[in-house]
Chains A and B, each alone.
Chain A
Amino acid sequence: MANLATGTAPKKLVRRNASLGDRIFNTLNITFLCLLMLVTLYPFLNTLALSFNRAMDSIRGGIYIWPRDFSIENYKYVFNQSTIFHATLISVLRLVIGSITTVFCSAMVAYTISRQDFVLRKFITIAFVLTAYINPGLIPNYLNIRDLGLVDSFWVYIWPGLIGVFNLILIRSFIDGLPESILESGRIDGAGDFRTFFNIVLPLCLPVLATVALFTAVYQWNSWLDVFLYNSSNINLSTLQYELQKILQNSSAASSASSAFSNPDAAANAVTPIAVRATMTIVASVPMILMYPFLQKYFVKGMTVGGVKG
């Protein structure tokens, strides 16, 4: 245990002075990545600009990365919906509980099916993998969830997605990649499977667990279909994305309704789907984008398995 996770990053290695080829590579690499960032940053800046532009003006199109007619009305409109704050709380709850349970449960099963000597290994693996490719259909699924008593309940956000096949296999292939000697050494020390799992496998798999946590968090944060299908009539269980969907749908009705009475002031401040969509994109994605750097450190620096090579 002591010699694990020393945290030596590759860059700390002694390197010879960068050769010419190296420098050319670095320059090209950085240039390319900067161009790539331009392309991937643009849609976001465009959305941001639209969200800060007066809604009726955005209809005219032609907004790129800067608002033409600055306004915070769109944000006021979105945050004026009183339901949004409670919904955010539910979203955070499902994100936290969902991510923790998914990471933990997936890792546990992944550990068992990584054990080559486990008699049920193949059976469990296939049983799980097949579920990625079968879909019972919308209505049977609904009836099943209802029969399990999960309709109108918070736990419908957690239970059905508890273990995803992709995550499971991902973690397993990481455990497979761990040097056998470490796992063995644990066993020789007389550690049971529980202890091996908790004390050796989990800490060593931190990069992949962070990845799975990120995937699950984003999935939990973004999903609203389960709210729609199972909890739509219970406002106390509504989530941020679902409320934002509602606001978006209302906005299209609102933009056409306000024009019907040709009330110039109302029309000038009316919201439109384009503007609301941009605003809700920003509102919903900024927390996910801010969360990323915190998880990044687990796989940018990397956990290294020092002293056990060979």
Chain B
Amino acid sequence: MESNIKSATSSMTSNQKPTGLKLFFKKLVQQRILVLMSVPFLIWLFLFKYLPLWGWTTAFQKYRPNKSFSEQEWIGFDQFKFLFHDDRFIRVLRNTLAQSGINLVLGFITAITLALLLNELRGILFKRVVQTVTYMPHFLSWVVAAGIIQATLAPDGIINVLMIKLGMIEKGQELLFLGIPKDFWTILGLGTVWKDLGWNTIVYLAAMATIDPSQYEAAEMDGAGRFRRMWNVTLPGIKSVIVVLLILNIGNLMESGFEAQYLLKNGMNIDYSENIDIFVLTYGINQSNFSLAVAAGMFKSLVSIVLLFIANGIAKRAGESRLF
């Protein structure tokens, strides 16, 4: 399959050799159907996604929504200076990257594992039940989910009770899990996995559905055991989806989510829970300073795009499927 695409690519590039504007337009006319199928959506894209980007100019203004563009007061990089001005920003950035990094790794590993395990099930009914049940927590709002996490981790919650029963701690020595700063990332990561595991699995199950069963047959003929089949047939079959999603998500590392942190944070864990979005909420939106929010958004976009290109470049080097 891979080789097919590659050969197609190479043949295409060789066809394109005599480059030039003329050739470009010639091809455009040749491919007018494809143009027809995509260009209207480019216009849509421009109207809905790129046009409002004039809003980025507000990052350099003391933006007052009631004033017109020409009446705005320009303040240069002040918002950025405020954003970056002390070591607190480093901490907030660290938390953002750590939280989303943990979520990314945990999320990928658990979802792919679950998809593999489900794929090994014989009973269709059981498989469907597991799928549906693991998918359900996705529909709980974070408020509900955080409430359950808080109750579970409370001194009288099930984790502490179990730890006492198992003799890991003494009664009266119950741990305040949400008060231990360093545990916050783990709690957040596990909480996110618990909530979205089934949801994240869907994509991989769909990918596995397209694997040609004769490939399993062939592997079996070769005497491949179950794990070898997973390794040699299933995983390669969904590899391109994994890689492409991984690239997309690496670009998304600056977005570590907001609600869960907001609900689970407290004074004790703030050093590990506060991320860029919460910082922007406290010092931007809540003070009606929309410019700060925009400045932070620009910074995040910039980093994201750099990360995206790096990830894509690595995939390209490694000869894997890639985004562009």
Contacts and interface: CB of A to CB of B under 8 A. Distances in A.
Q: Is any CB of A less than 8 Å from a CB of B in the complex? A: yes
B123 to A, nearest CB: 9
B128 A296 contact: yes
Nearest to A212: B206
Given A180-B5, A193-B37, A207-B210, A144 B136 contact: no
B186 interface: no
B192 interface: no
A266 B53 CA distance: 52
Contact of A40 (B33, B197, B216, B226): B197
Contact of B216 (A13, A112, A137, A284): A13
A193 B34 contact: yes
Contact of A143 (B48, B52, B129, B130): B52
Contacts of A140: 52-56, 58
Contacts of B128: 293, 296, 300
B51 to A, nearest CB: 6
Interface string A143-169: 110001000000000011011011001
A132 B294 CA distance: 16
Contacts of A113: 38
Contacts of B304: 133
Interface in A189-237: 192-194, 197, 204, 207-208, 210-211, 214-215, 218, 222
B100 to A, nearest CB: 13
A99 to B, nearest CB: 15
Main secondary structure of the interface of A (DSSP, over half): helix
A111 B41 CA distance: 13
A105 B40 CA distance: 10
B5 A139 contact: no
Main secondary structure of the interface of B (DSSP, over half): helix
A151 to B, nearest CB: 14
Contacts of A277: 141, 143-144
A148 B48 CA distance: 9
Nearest to A34: B130
Interface string A12-26: 110100000110011
B210 A177 contact: yes
B98 to A, nearest CB: 19
A264 interface: no
Nearest to B293: A137
Interface in B17-43: 24, 27-28, 31, 33-35, 37-39, 41-42
A308 B48 CA distance: 41
Interface in B142-181: 143-145, 148, 151
- Interface range for B: 35 or more
Contacts of B290: 137-139
B136 A285 contact: yes
A159 B28 CA distance: 27
Contacts of B216: 10, 13
A185 interface: no
B283 to A, nearest CB: 16
B231 to A, nearest CB: 14
Contacts of B194: 39-40
A306 B104 CA distance: 35
Given A115-B34, A119-B24, A109 B132 contact: no
Interface residues of A, number: 109
Given A40-B194, A44-B137, A165-B248, A13 B132 contact: no
Of listed B206, B211, B251, residue having the most chain A CB within 10 A: B206
B133 A305 contact: no
B9 interface: yes
Given A111-B37, A122-B324, A136 B137 contact: no
A120 B38 contact: yes
Interface in B99-135: 114, 117-118, 120-122, 124, 126-135
Interface string B48-81: 1111111110100001010000000000000000
A37 B28 CA distance: 53
Contacts of B301: 133-135
Contacts, number: 289
A301 B51 contact: no
Contacts of B27: 119
Contact of B206 (A47, A119, A211): A211
Contacts of A137: 52, 55-56, 58, 290, 293-294, 297
B241 interface: yes
A303 interface: yes
Given A112-B34, A112-B37, A137-B290, A302 B208 contact: yes
B8 A180 contact: yes
A299 B132 contact: no
Contacts of A26: 120, 122
Contacts of B148: 42-43, 46
Contact of A305 (B34, B45, B212): B212
Q: Which 9 A-B pairs have the closest CB atoms?
A: A140-B55, A302-B209, A285-B139, A144-B52, A180-B4, A133-B304, A136-B52, A136-B55, A112-B38
Given A301-B124, A306-B214, 20 more contacts: A13-B217, A26-B120, A32-B117, A46-B148, A47-B144, A108-B38, A109-B37, A117-B15, A127-B42, A135-B301, A139-B290, A148-B47, A162-B41, A165-B248, A173-B241, A179-B4, A207-B209, A281-B144, A292-B131, A304-B210
Interface of B: 1, 4-5, 8-9, 12, 15, 24, 27-28, 31, 33-35, 37-39, 41-42, 44-45, 47-56, 58, 63, 65, 114, 117-118, 120-122, 124, 126-141, 143-145, 148, 151, 194, 197-198, 202-203, 205-217, 220, 225-226, 240-241, 244-245, 248, 251-252, 290, 293-294, 297, 300-301, 304-305, 308, 321, 323-324
6 contacts: A36-B114, A39-B194, A43-B148, A118-B38, A207-B207, A306-B214
